[in-house]
Amino acid sequence: HYWNPKQTMPLTSWESSIDQILAELSTTNDRRKRADLYQTLQVIIAEELPLIPLPVQNEIYAVRSRIKNAEKMPLYGGPASLLPSLWIGFSP
């Protein structure tokens, strides 16, 4: 589960399952295995609804061409979420 993955005693069995899946995802590079794990994770989330997706209005941000490493903003992250990864490129 998203908010407290290292709790000693998850309240529900699905929380424990999510913990195990996320731990396994963090250690495997096998694409097929990862796809299976993500599929299982999505089924648990769809059945238990620990998260309820809400529609969000699209946001558009403008970035000067000399600002480098600007990528698509993560949902709810806003422009401030990119500050640690941005840098200014100087042309010779």
DSSP code string of 37-87: HHHHHHHHHHHH-SS-------------TTEES--PPPTTTTGGGGGGG-E
pTM for the model stands at 0.54
Q: What b/e string do you get for 5-14 counting C-beta neighbours within 10 Å, with b at 16 or more? A: eeeeebeeee
**Quick one: pLDDT at residue 38?**
93
* Of 18 and 62, more confident: 18
What mean pLDDT do residues 9-17 have? Answer: 86
**Quick one: pLDDT at residue 83?**
53
